[in-house]
Structure 1
Amino acid sequence: MDQPSFGNLTGDPSVIKESSAAEFAEDVIATSRDTPVIVDFWAEWCGPCKQLGPIIEKIVLEKGGSVKLVKIDIEKSPEIAQQMQVQSIPAVFAFVNGQPVDGFVGAQPESQIRSFIDRAIQRTGGTAEPSPLEQALGHAAELFAGGDTQNSSALYDQILQQQPDNTAAVAGLAKCLLAEGQVDAVKKLLADVPEDKQGDADISSVRASLELAGAGAEAANQSETLKIEVTENPGNHQARFDLALALFAQGDKESAISHLLYIIKRDRSWNEDSARKQLLKMFDALGNDDPATLDGRQQLSLILFS
């Protein structure tokens, strides 16, 4: 199967510019009449600015020229910050048709920054189409969901060649390797993730999957015996717990979740809350948007708050 080519995934660096008071009218006011402009007020001494800036830059680069970024160092151009009534930084504004139309102050999660930039694009009548990077990640995920781990991992590799720090691609490749039983390769891949990205949701999901795979592998060979034991002795929570691990390892996530919910409903504190803890680990492994996670969380809430 031939892989589609997604070309340059890193974006055109010319859409990002350091500007000043003398250039502000041209770089921001004039330019925003054709293309929305994000203005980032920052300073070298500002820690949150250094965290926020790279995220904004990454998203803008992904948008393929449909939005531009202008960075203003308030130490070098204090008059612009004063005109915009910037009282604390980082301060970010979206300009459309020569006017500021949206903004925020302080560090924000990447998801909110994406929504902020998409709104600016939509204000000009444009649409927040998936970037080449988003298309590549989406296609790789579809390949994986269809069981094509070989082509999925090849596409994740292509992405990582251009964006080595892309945690979504790292996590996707790790899931492919895990599905192929390459546990040591997954461990090495996770170990190489920078410390500041170890808490990323995608990386946490893979780590949970790795832990569950190890636990489930031990129980998988006994799954038929465990099914008989649970049928004959419904109150044997340990057998049901082990069966849940085995089923999850075999890909039957719905049944695995159902068995853990059964235990929680009948004995919430069994084995030091092991069933609930394991259930949450499964949710982490599946991701927050997985239908099994959404349904499982709803059922768990009904049990805990009934």
Structure 2
Amino acid sequence: MSTRDNPYAVPGDTAGGTMRAGVDFGAPEQSRTPGRPSLLDLENGPVAEGLIKEASTASFTADVIQESRRQPVLVDFWAPWCGPCKQLTPVLEQAVRQAGGKVRLVKMNIDEHPAIAGQLGIQSIPAVIAFKDGQPVDGFMGAVPESQIKQFIDKLGGGGDRIGEALETAKAAADEGDSQTAAQIYSAILQEEPDQVDALAGLAGLLFDAGQADKAAALLDRVPAAKSDAPAVAAIRARMALAEQVAALGDPEALAARLEADPDDHQARFDLALIANAQGRREEAAEHLLHIIRKDRSWNDDAARAKLLELFEAWGPGDPATLSARRRLSSLLFS
């Protein structure tokens, strides 16, 4: 659409598409304290509702002008017949979600609601205008690439790694035994980013630890195929696979009795290692497997070493048990 045939141009506007500031869409909101929203309110649930919404001329003051006094609001002017609009909108929505709620997106169909676009002097679409403190402050036109959109949002102060900070908070809560708080944070993240892999894996781990393996598996099924090998996902899947193996191992007391009668009963020691790991005794599990490797490295086609490597993956590369056992394994293999 050209400047000449755009029905939304302001009469007499010769700015060639420049976005004008200072348009008055309504009275300022009274007695509102500016401030950024947090990721979630642990009592009332996530605050991310309405992160992306459709607006009308009637709702523009509330959805854009008033809301922009809390955080930046992007307004996407589009129309159903506009091909570039269809290219831009999903990329724009994804960028807003990744900003973690520090910016909001309002979409306006200019065919149904032409007045606002006319007041702003929109010369072509797609057009995106950013509002802060009740006023339009910046904008761009056309189906720009994702990287440019992210830079635009960062410039508004909508960047930052809120999701990363929330993930760290959730992990800290889980490590301290506060599973309820961790689960609430992971759930809030997933309401903003349904495919957030670390949150999916974290919540699945909490469900698995609570004895809800079926729900944990169902949650992992939501992981996008392209991210199925992510470390957090691999770790929880490894834990679940180990638990299935341990369930078929039998009575640990009987295995301990076998080992006491014959210290070279490597199968009994191997099974006890899996049970120790399932019960959270990682150093003990590693010691059993390292003992087998030291005594008979080739036992059962190198099964002890293979299992130890599997445990490293489940524990994570930074776990103290992983670091200690990996050093000892290296000494056994390369000394």
TM-score by length of 1: 0.59
Which whole-Å CA distance do the structure 2 matches of 1:58 and 1:187 have between them? Answer: 29
Q: Is 1:164 matched up with 2:194?
A: yes
Q: Is the 8 A contact 1:149 1:176 kept in 2?
A: yes
Q: Is the 8 A contact 1:174 1:186 kept in 2?
A: yes
In the other structure, the counterpart of 1:291 is 320
In the other structure, the counterpart of 1:305 is 334
Q: Is 1:152 matched up with 2:182?
A: yes
Shift of 1:246: 0.6
1:121-132 aligned at under 5 Å gives the runs 131-132=161-162
Which whole-Å CA distance do the structure 2 matches of 1:223 and 1:59 have between them? Answer: 49
Q: Is 1:187 matched up with 2:231?
A: no
In the other structure, the counterpart of 1:138 is 168
Aligned length: 222
Provide closer, same or farther for how the CA distance between residues 185 and 13 of structure 1 changes in structure 2, counting only shifts above 3 A. Answer: farther
1:257-296 aligned at under 5 Å gives the runs 257-296=286-325
Q: Is the 8 A contact 2:186 2:202 kept in 1?
A: yes
The letter of the residue matching 1:61 is A
Q: Is the 8 A contact 1:216 1:248 kept in 2?
A: no
1:61 to 74, 86, 99: 99
Counterpart of 1:161 in 2: which secondary structure? helix
Q: Percent identity?
A: 38
Shift of 1:138: 1.5
The letter of the residue matching 1:295 is S
The letter of the residue matching 2:302 is D
| Deviation sequence 1:63-118 (CA, Å, 0-9, x none) | 969xxxxx9x9xx99xxxxxxxxxxxxx99xx9xxxxxxxxxxxxxxxxxxxxxxx
| Deviation sequence 1:136-193 (CA, Å, 0-9, x none) | 2122112222233333222211111111111110110111011011111122222221
Q: Structure 1: where are the runs of 5+ without partners?
A: 16-43, 45-52, 66-70, 78-90, 96-129
2:247 to 217, 221, 229: 217
Structure number with bigger Rg: 2
Shift of 1:284: 1.1
1:1-306 aligned at under 5 Å gives the runs 3=42, 61=99, 131-219=161-249, 222-306=251-335
Counterpart of 1:270 in 2: which secondary structure? coil
